[in-house]
Amino acid sequence: MTGRAGRTSPGTVLVAWLCSDIVSLFGTSLSSLAVPWMVLTLTHNAAVTGMVSAIQLGMLVLANLLSGPIIDALGPTRISVACDTISACFIALIPLLWLVHRFSIPALIVIVAVAGAMRGPSNSAKSTLSPRVASYARQPMERITGLSGTTDRLAATVGSAVGGIIVGAVGGAYALAFTSLGLILGASLIGLIVRPALLADCAQSPQGNGTDSPRTAATDTAARSTAGTAADTMAQEPEAGRAPEATRNRAEDHGHGPGTSRRNGASRYCRDLVAGWKALKALPVVLALTLIPSVTNMIDVAWSDVLTPAWVMAQHHSSQSLGLLFAAFSLPALAASIAATALATKLPRFPVLVIGYLVAGAPRYIAMALNAPIPVLLIVLAVGGLGMGFLNPIIGAVVYERIPDETRGRVVSLMGAIAWGLMPLGSLLGGLGTHLIGLNLTLGISGALYLGVTMLPLFIPSWRDIGRPQSGSLPTHEHHAA
């Protein structure tokens, strides 16, 4: 659907961006259930399951750490489409190898390593697009991050619930064909709808500078917060038409211009990484909202990839039960994300953040450590999901409000690397802990650690400053020219 002058409507671009997340994350959620279950079924060894997960996540973290300058240089849409397509092709090898009886754990490790390396930059690229989509769709950042969190929860809910059924019906290997299909669909939506619309918007800017629209002095500050690096980097892509002089100079700075040596390009790349780290360190609240999730993500990946599958198997339940447990957590989180999106600009941020972490973390670990019956565990997970659903809109809005435009791609990818950096360790520790000290004790320790880390903002004043900046510094009223 297009508006005046053939411009794709803001709603169409927003829906395509969100649907891309839904279908690709559905596939990722399904694989997060299918791969551990497949490895556990084949090896009956939690340590091997943790190792496979750790390798995939380790590659994801490494790629996230290194991809920021590349996203800034080549454009987030290009990176997202390319990485999702490559990942889909490699994941499709798993059912193919299974079909021809050539499947093995070493082959699986190679495939998930490549898929993880592609998933990291793709996730960062989609996140980098958030302010650009917010500007195009004329929506405040809190609403966009809330919608994004809602799509995450929707994908996780459907992927978990349907994934358990699919794995039980066709097996883990063949279930991964749906993961590959989801990634292809997601890449198609970005490549065929979102990318052309945003590129055309940059090319049609009257100033010819890659920005969104004409700006007055009154709206310039808000516009800078919204348009950001994503618009600038997209303007570098050939399809946007002739790049303006400033864009060409920036491209040369990144080692892509005529006469620039590879050594200078590598030096610029390293400086970009350092600049991203310096920008992150200069923002204590953003750094805090990166460090806390780095620990909780480590614990949660152990829970999802190792501890919960091992618990379900130890209780003699099926893969459908595993999917039900994940869905019991994700469905309330989805509902809470929708509510948080609707109330985005009215929620008191700090109390909601603390309460959300309090109910989302430790209780589910303790309940499983005590071998709670499935009905009780489902209630605990549902309450935890409600708390979790309110976190992403708040964290996302705080982060995007404070990151400088010129370093957004670098900082977002660096944040992703830090937030996910301990996840491979979580998978390893979850598997080794289960093998060495037992599943229940590992669950109990995990819950206690989760509680301690998430309550730190109560005791560190600089980590509590997550209130909204003063009016005028947020892109809540940014509009495109008609």
Q: What's the pLDDT tens digit per position in 81-124?
A: 999 999 999 999 999 999 999 999 999 999 999 998 998 888 88
The pLDDT value recorded for residue 265 is: 59
More confident residue, 285 or 233: 285
pLDDT of 107:
93
Q: In the chain, what are the domains?
A: 4-208+274-461 (1.20.1250.20)
Looking at per-residue pLDDT, the higher value among 279 and 306 belongs to 306
Average pLDDT, stretch 50-59? 88
Q: What is the pLDDT of residue 295?
A: 93
Average per-residue pLDDT in the chain?
78
Query: In the predicted model, what is the mean pLDDT of residues 263-284?
Result: 74
Among 339-348, 371-380, 422-431, the least confident range: 339-348
The pLDDT assigned to 338 comes to: 80
- Amino acid at site 464: R
Q: Give the pLDDT band of residue 470 (cuts 50, 70, 90).
A: low
Residues 412, 395: Cα–Cα separation, whole Å: 13
pLDDT number for residue 183: 93
Expressed in angstroms, the distance from the first to the final Cα of the chain is 16
State how far the Cα of 479 lies from the Cα of 470, in Å rounded to an integer.
Answer: 19
Can you tell me the distance from the alpha carbon of 221 to that of 37, in angstroms, rounded to the nearest whole number? 50
pLDDT at residue 300 tops 80: yes
Q: Percentage of the chain with pLDDT > 70?
A: 79
Tell which residue, 71, 40, 44, has the closest CA to residue 53.
Answer: 40
pLDDT tens, residue by residue, 184-217: 999 999 999 998 988 887 666 544 433 333 333 3
Give every CB contact of residue 69 below 8 A, 6+ residues apart in sequence. 254, 268, 269, 272, 273, 276, 409, 410
pLDDT digits (tens, 9 = 90+) for 130-141: 888 888 888 877
Phi, psi of 251 (to 5 degrees): -60, -40
Q: Predicted confidence band at 236 (pLDDT cuts at 50, 70, 90)?
A: very low
Helices vs. strands in the chain: H and E counts, helices first:
22, 0
**pLDDT value for 330:** 81
Measured CA angle at 330 (ends 180, 181), to 5 deg: 10
pLDDT at 220: 37
Ranking 250-254, 334-338, 399-403, 471-475 by mean pLDDT, the lowest is: 250-254
pLDDT above 90 for 449 = yes
With DSSP H G I counted as helix, E B as strand and the rest as coil, what are the percentages for the chain, rounded to 5? Answer: 80, 0, 20
Check whether 472 has a pLDDT greater than 80.
no
pLDDT on residue 478: 36
Sign of the CA dihedral 160, 166, 108, 70? Answer: negative
Angle at alpha carbon of residue 281, lines to 275 and 282, rounded to 5°: 90
Q: What is the mean pLDDT of residues 412-422?
A: 77
Give the residue carrying structure tokens 């953040």. Answer: 353
Alpha-carbon span 283 to 112, nearest angstrom: 34
Average pLDDT over residues 276-287: 81
The answer to whether residue 262 scores a pLDDT higher than 60 is no
Contact 341/462 with Cβ under 8 angstroms?
Answer: no
